[in-house]
Structure formats: structure tokens, C-alpha cells
Structure 1
Amino acid sequence: MSLALEWAAAHATVATDPKTTARSASALHEAVGATITGDGIGAARAMELFDEVLLPATRSSEDPMNLAYIPAAPTRAAVAFDTVVSAANVFGGIWENGAGAIFAENQVLRWLSDLLGWPEDSAGVFVSGGTTGNLSALATARDHALRTRGRRPEGGWALACASTAHSSISSAARLLDMDVVTVAVDDRGHLTGPALEQALEADPRICAVVASGGTTNAGIVDDLGPVVEAAHRHGAWVHVDGAYGGAALAAPSARGRFDGIEQADSFIVDPHKWLFAPYDCCALIYRDARPAAAAHSQHAAYLDSIDRGESNPADLAAHLSRRTRGLPLWYSLATHGTDAYAQAVERCLDSARTVARAIQESEHLELLLEPELSVVVFRRPGWTPAAYRRWSQRLAAEGTILCVPTAFQGEVALRLAFVNPSTDPQAVIEVLRSTMLEADGA
């Protein structure tokens, strides 16, 4: 036990690098061998293998030059307190078992609800990730539609979303036996009220609309106000997927992009993406939590004595057992203050704008859209898909930068996701300047 705790304490301050270091299963087996044995291999050997073989075969998410996908950059306070959460071993499903810890989580959820402009009786829960959060919210929407409309429509339920919605939305729809009605985006990449209105008029099966509060691929925020108005005119639930971009609600310079979210019905944000919490952590919040409780509360002989007058996280999502995964964020917020969080998010936004300007002013790069949040999408004219891959893989192997190819409006492109306030935009600009001059991708 002491070996693990000592390693955790030391690792909380260790430097990272963005190298791509994944190894094949066969190579790892050759290096590690059998570890699950009848007699065990002992704590020292297990720790040695983890430190010297297993962990080096992973990618550092928190490095300032990891700009691929949406990495996590947790504060040291949050990382340290994650160890406390594990050691405390709190069952966070019901108030009776986890009252103090749940109370602290709820203070964080209240802060987020205030950013949304939602009423005092809004409520939520921390779940494992955006996929689970989206699934639980849409299950609530479907159940609420059945209760309010009285019956399942012929042909089954449907949800509407933009073609740019996260892949977890279609996954949730499959699990919930809902059809997906894809609504075309405008020339700026947004889901709009008029386009949604047409879809709702054409298909009365639509009981839920998913809007993006910052798409993962390009950081685009849908036109939330008109979308919410159109959906509510047709009695459809509005869920805002802010898994990545919802953190920008904390930044005054970006808050206006979310106008209209005040009237949405449910919302998620992943603090392990851009609110500086460790994996895994998603905040799922309902403007009115009663439909969620109706959809998700579990009842059994051993559960019927639960005090339903208090906040029971198990009632608000598709789970029962849960760790209090919101506590590392609570500790970090309590330690640093919400002003520091707002400033950190603003730094990421400013870094994205700085790099975007440099790309726009460059003679050999092309900015594909002005960043709405902290994702920068660009291309290198003259490069083939193979050239993009060679560039990305070479710099990843060197540990220079992690930036992977994507697709944007049917073309191969590159994207940079700025979610670490420690990232130096000038360092990123220099990498792009010095490594992308050659038209053949070298």
C-alpha cells in the first residue's frame, strides 16, 4: 500500500511529454509476462512493472503540447484529491450513505446551474462520461414524452440533431430504440431554429432535440435560442451536449454564444475535458429533475426505505452504484476559486484565437473557420492525406506535438484543441511554422 501511495504522491507533480508510446499487446506481454498468478507477484514487482512498462505505453493527456482529440489537463489539487476519493471509498448512489460527499458535489452542480441561468430547484449528478450523460438525458426525454403524450407513436420515437452531433448521440438512440432525424447545418456549421422547425413539422415522432454546446470536431455552438424555441413549440425536450464546450460558460468572453440555454431541459459537461478534473467525470444537469427521477428511480424491497426527500444521485441517471467522482472538481474549485477557473478557460480561448490569427497570416497554411471556442481547424494546401499522416505521426513519435488529421466539410484537415491553460501558443505557432513549410509534407 505504501508503495502505491508514495508513487501517487510523486506522480502528482511529475513532468509529462506528448509522445505516442502505445505498444502492441504481444510486445507488452513479452515485457510484463503473467501478473495475475496464484501466489501473486508482490507489491514491489507490480509497482515496478506499472511504472517502467505499463504507464510508459500510454499517452500523456495533460501535456501542454497534447492538442489532439480533447485531452484532459487536471489541476494538481484535483489529481491529489482523486486519491482521497478512492481512499474514502464512499458509496455515492444514495444520500443515506454519502450525504457529505453528495452535498459537496451538489455545490459544484449548483455553480454549473448558475452558469446556465437555471432555477434553484434544478438538479443533477456526476456520471462517468458524456456518453452516459447523453444516454441518461435522452432516456429521460423519451420517458417524459410517453408520460405527457400518452402513448408511443406509430413507428417509434425519434430524436433530432445536427449532422455534426457527437457519435454518442446515435449510439444512445440505438440503445433507446429511437430513430435519428438528421438536420442539415447552415453554412457556418450550426443547427438553426428554422431548419429544426421543418424537421419537427415533418416528423411528429420527434420527442427530443440534441443541440451542441461546442462540437468536438470544430468547437461550434449551435443556435441555441431559436433551437430551444422551435423544439418547445412542438413539445420536444431539448438536451444540450456541452461535453467539451460547456466549460466556456465560465468565460465571460464566450458566454454570449450560449444565449438561449437558459430554457433548455438538460445539459452535460465533462469536467475531465476542460474544467481541469481527472478522468472520469461528467456533470449531467436537469432544469427540472422530476422527469429524470420518474425515469431513473429504482425500486426494490431493500431500496424502498431510502429517503427520497434528499438528493439521491441514483435517481437521476442510468446507474445505482457510483463513486463520488465530482469531488476532485469540488476540491479544486474550493481550493482555487471560480475566478481562477474563469481565467484558465479564458487563457485557452485566447490561445486558440492567437494561433488562429497566426495561421490566417501564414502564407503556407489555411484557416478553415474562425474558432468559436478553443478548437482551431486548418489545412496545409498541397498536402495529400498521406502527408498529413506522416507529419502527425512523426511529430507524435518525437514528442513535439500531438495533432491528428480530421475531416472538415469533406476535406482532410488538422485540428488543435486548446484545453490546457499551460499551453504556450507561441510554441505551437513555431512548430507549425518550422515543420509545415514543405509542400510535400516531407
Structure 2
Amino acid sequence: MHNIDIASIEMTLDVMKYAIDRITRTSPQMGRPKKEAELRELVGETITSKGIGGENAFRLFRDVLVKATVPIDHPRHLAFVPAAPSRAAILFDLVTSASSIHGAYWMEGAGGIFCENEAMKWLVSLTGLPEPAFGVFTSGGTAANLSALVTAREHWRKHPENQNSKGLIITSVGAHSSVKAMAKVIDVDLFLVETEDAMTGQALQAVLKTLDTQQRKRLFAVVATGGTTNAGIIDDLSGIAEICETEKLWFHVDAAYGGGALAADSVRHLFNGIEKADSITIDPHKWLFSPYDCGAVIYKNPEQAKHAHAQQGSYLDIFKDKGAQGFNPSDYQIQLTRRVRGMPLWFSLAMHGTDKYKWAVEQGISLANLAGRLITENPVVELVREPSLSCVLFRRKGWTPEDYRDWTYKNHREGFALVTPTKWKQGDTYETVARFCFINPHTTEEDIIAILRTMG
């Protein structure tokens, strides 16, 4: 199994041929899911006592299984938050895997961690956080938000009167689902500010006035959003930061999706105040063109994160030794064993330069604004709200929720596009609407027109 033989060499050539073909396609085939029973009938049993052979296993993947997936970088994949990893990042992801680098401690992974840290310096520079701010790459926004909130809670619990208390966090109803999920994981209560639009400092101040004495004592953090997943809305970061500073509350900004826009000069001012955050989440695998999985958490004071996350064990002592001194990523987030997932971002940045990244992010914003104009000019559709970042919410006049659902499945079934509906609050009710999220610079005006045409 670990030997190099002619079969392994032939398989390597087959895999590389497939990878090169896939990487060079800017518009790959859009697959669609099949039922598990259907896939089972097509491929049979793949895990057997004697094995089915690499050539056969790869053929099943190439000819059947991958066609039951939707490529996230298809130019007409505009659902959820898609991704469009650069070719350089994809290729270096292969190098990252082949290099077998353990990225938890400097002693084992110094060269790879150095690469990650170079990319992290650029991310930190986008936020405007002062020295000694720094961060670490995680598996995504969920892990980054969890790491940040654990750090915030442990910082709060340093005070003896808080050690046996259940904490309280404030965020908005538009916050990402992971924030609400992480509150359960770390066993803290969550207070939601009821606003479909941006959470303002004024709204936060109003909420603080409603808290009783015990709730106020338990409150330790406010989570603002730098680009909501649903609509690209950016909270009033400056106003919230000012209140958090006055009230001595941890200020976390979840910019997992929207953080990529920090690189875009056209919208950078919308994030003013983020430089006052205690922690920030950004996902390079969303709008900074890295392969899955690559999130990041950045701290104003990394030592606070180290206090919360550094693991202890006799088998780990050597990593703390003077002879192994260096940056240890495992000390700053929840994961011990980790791959050096920031290396593909580093290579792509090093290869292309940051100006190309700025251009690519600006493309997503330009596509959203273009879609907004095309929708305004189309008599059968209308904007729900003005485009924000790379998100566009719009409605097909006269459609029911079932119409949106059927339209989504028809386009998907035909391998044409993946555009899914969402909900938007209108008064006291939620309306089903359509949604675009633009990430891929290869999406064209013709793609947008063609998708709108399918609405009749």
C-alpha cells in the first residue's frame, strides 16, 4: 500500500491529467445530486476486502461520482456563498497535501507556517488592526468564530466573579448561523437584536438599556457582522465599537464572507471601525480565492487567544522548548492537529500579487451592481433592496414560494445554473425572494441575462 509501483505511477498520470483538465476549465460541467440508491446501483460496493483497484475506483469517481456534485467555481453557481479558487491556489493545494506538513507547531512545520504567516500579515493589514495583532488559519468561519468566542469568554472569566457565571452574547438576527450554534457549544446565552438591516450602535445601546442587572453582569461580547451571508449587509462597526469600548465588552466581527471586500478600495470605507475589533473572522475560501477549507481568525491581542487555547500535555512539552521556538498555530485556535491550509493562499498571493486580488474582488462587486441594473430594466423582476457587496436580492413579480423552488430545481436539473431562493422580512412577514451572490470573476453579463430569462 505504501510502495511505489507501476500501477501507482499510472494512477498518478491519470490523476494529473484529470486535475489539469479540470483546472483549465473555466466553465466545468454542472453536476446534480442523485439519490444514494441510484449512486449505489451505478458504482456498486467500493470498499471491499481485496480492493477494487485504483484505476477502477478513479474511473467511478470521474465518470459517475463527480458528476453528482456541483462545482463551486461554476460561473453560474450563484447560490449560498460560492467560491472561485485561483488556479495557482488549487495547484498548490496539491503540493500542500503531497508535502505532508503537520501545521500545529513550528518545530515540525516551520517552513509551511512561515508561508501561512506571510499571507496572514496581508490579511491583518487589510483590517487596519494595530500591532501586535495577528491570526491563524482555521477550517472555516465556524471554527474561527468558535475560537474567537472561546477567547472572549476566557478573557471575561479571568475575573473571579465571572468564573461560575453563564455568559451572555449580543448579536443580530442577521448574524451567521454559526454564531448562534457556537453560543450553544460554549454554553452561553444569546440576545438577538431584531433588525433585518444593519445592526447600529443606536440599536445596540437600546438593547443594553433593556438588560437587567444580572444580564448586564453576564454580558461579555458583542458579535457584529461584516457582510451578512443573506444580503451582504455590514453592521455599524464604528458605532458598535465605540459602545463596546465604553462598556468594556469584547467586540468580535464576523466577516467570514464580506471580509474579502476589505481588499476592494470601492467599499473599504463601509468597514470603518473594524480596526477596533478584538477579533475578526475572514474566510479566504470564500472571497479570497482559496480552496476549501481555509478560514482565519485574527486577534487584536494574540496572547489572549494563547491563554485560552494553548494545550498542555507531557508529549507536547518539547514543542515549548527553547530549541523549537516559533509561532505555534495550535496555541491560537481550537484545533491541535491541522494542515497548513494557508499555504495555497500564500502561493497564489506570491504568484499574482495583491493588486490582482483587489481586481478580482472588485469584479464581484461590479457584477452585483450590473445585475442590479439588469433587474431594474427587466419588467418581470424587481430589486428587493439595493445590491450590497456581491449580494443581490430580487423578486419575480407574481411568484409564490413554490415557483421559486420549482425554478431552482429546473435550472439545476438541466445543468444550467444553481441559484437558490432565500427569505427577506417585509413588515411582520417573511417573503421568498431570489438571490445572487457573485464571487467568480468568470461570471459574465450574458450569464446573468440568461438566468433572468429563465424566469419568463
Q: In which range does the TM-score fall when normalised by the shorter chain?
A: over 0.9
Q: CA deviation at 1:150?
A: 4.2
Q: Partners of 1:173 and 1:18 in 2: how far apart? A: 39
Matched, 1:283 2:296: yes
Q: Partners of 2:158 and 2:275 in 1: how far apart? A: 24
Matched, 1:217 2:230: yes
Q: CA deviation at 1:393?
A: 1.3
- The question of whether the paired residues in 2 share the 8 Å contact of 1:17 and 1:399 is answered with no
SS across alignment from 2:46: coil
Q: Partners of 1:209 and 1:26 in 2: how far apart? A: 46
| Structure 2 equivalent of residue 343 of structure 1 | 359
Matched, 1:245 2:245: no
- The question of whether the paired residues in 1 share the 8 Å contact of 2:180 and 2:190 is answered with yes
Matched, 1:274 2:287: yes
Q: Evaluate the alpha carbon distance shift between residue 183 and residue 153 of structure 1 in structure 2; reply closer, same or farther with a 3 A threshold.
A: farther
Q: Which letter maps to 1:109?
A: M
Residue 203 (structure 2) aligned to one of 184, 195, 203: 195
| Structure 1 equivalent of residue 67 of structure 2 | 56
- The question of whether the paired residues in 2 share the 8 Å contact of 1:16 and 1:60 is answered with no
Q: Partners of 1:81 and 1:391 in 2: how far apart? A: 38
Q: CA deviation at 1:15?
A: 4.8
Q: Which letter maps to 1:417?
A: C
Gap regions ≥5 residues in structure 1: 438-442
SS across alignment from 2:80: coil
Matched, 1:418 2:438: yes
Q: CA deviation at 1:54?
A: 1.0
Q: CA deviation at 1:18?
A: 6.2
- The question of whether the paired residues in 2 share the 8 Å contact of 1:185 and 1:192 is answered with no
Residue 365 (structure 1) aligned to one of 377, 381, 387: 381
247-256 or 140-149, larger mean C-alpha shift: 140-149
Residue 175 (structure 2) aligned to one of 165, 168, 190: 165
Q: CA deviation at 1:194?
A: 1.5
Matched, 1:389 2:405: yes
What do the CA deviations read for 1:214-239 (whole angstroms, capped 9, x no partner)? 00010101010001111222221111
TM alignment of 1:35-434, pairs within 5 A = 35-148=46-159, 150-152=161-163, 154=165, 156-185=166-195, 189-201=197-209, 202=211, 203-204=215-216, 205-307=218-320, 309-409=325-425, 410-432=430-452, 434=453
Q: Evaluate the alpha carbon distance shift between residue 86 and residue 426 of structure 1 in structure 2; reply closer, same or farther with a 3 A threshold.
A: same
Q: Partners of 2:270 and 2:78 in 1: how far apart? A: 23
What do the CA deviations read for 1:124-162 (whole angstroms, capped 9, x no partner)? 1111111111111101110111114642465x1011100
What do the CA deviations read for 1:232-261 (whole angstroms, capped 9, x no partner)? 222211111111110000000010100000
- The question of whether the paired residues in 2 share the 8 Å contact of 1:200 and 1:206 is answered with no
Q: How many residues align?
A: 433
Q: Evaluate the alpha carbon distance shift between residue 157 and residue 18 of structure 1 in structure 2; reply closer, same or farther with a 3 A threshold.
A: farther
Q: Partners of 1:144 and 1:425 in 2: how far apart? A: 49
Q: CA deviation at 1:121?
A: 1.6
Q: Partners of 2:59 and 2:417 in 1: how far apart? A: 28
372-381 or 398-407, larger mean C-alpha shift: 398-407
- The question of whether the paired residues in 2 share the 8 Å contact of 1:123 and 1:287 is answered with yes
Q: Partners of 2:38 and 2:454 in 1: how far apart? A: 31
Q: Partners of 2:183 and 2:382 in 1: how far apart? A: 36
TM-score by length of 1: 0.95
Q: CA deviation at 1:330?
A: 0.7
Q: CA deviation at 1:31?
A: 1.1
Q: CA deviation at 1:13?
A: 1.7
What do the CA deviations read for 1:75-122 (whole angstroms, capped 9, x no partner)? 111111100000000000001111111111111111011110012321
TM-score by length of 2: 0.92
| Structure 1 equivalent of residue 3 of structure 2 | none
Q: Partners of 2:22 and 2:359 in 1: how far apart? A: 26
Q: CA deviation at 1:69?
A: 0.7
Q: Partners of 1:41 and 1:323 in 2: how far apart? A: 29
SS across alignment from 1:52: helix
**Structure 1 residue runs of 4+, over 4 Å off?**
none
Q: Which letter maps to 1:198?
A: A
- The question of whether the paired residues in 2 share the 8 Å contact of 1:21 and 1:397 is answered with yes
- The question of whether the paired residues in 1 share the 8 Å contact of 2:198 and 2:234 is answered with yes
- The question of whether the paired residues in 1 share the 8 Å contact of 2:31 and 2:67 is answered with no
51-60 or 304-313, larger mean C-alpha shift: 304-313
Q: Which letter maps to 2:455?
A: M
| Structure 1 equivalent of residue 455 of structure 2 | 436
Q: CA deviation at 1:359?
A: 1.1
356-365 or 99-108, larger mean C-alpha shift: 356-365
- The question of whether the paired residues in 1 share the 8 Å contact of 2:30 and 2:74 is answered with no
Q: CA deviation at 1:5?
A: 3.7
Identity of aligned residues (%): 45
Matched, 1:21 2:17: no
Q: Partners of 2:17 and 2:227 in 1: how far apart? A: 39
297-306 or 1-10, larger mean C-alpha shift: 1-10
Q: CA deviation at 1:34?
A: 1.2
Q: Evaluate the alpha carbon distance shift between residue 149 and residue 360 of structure 1 in structure 2; reply closer, same or farther with a 3 A threshold.
A: farther
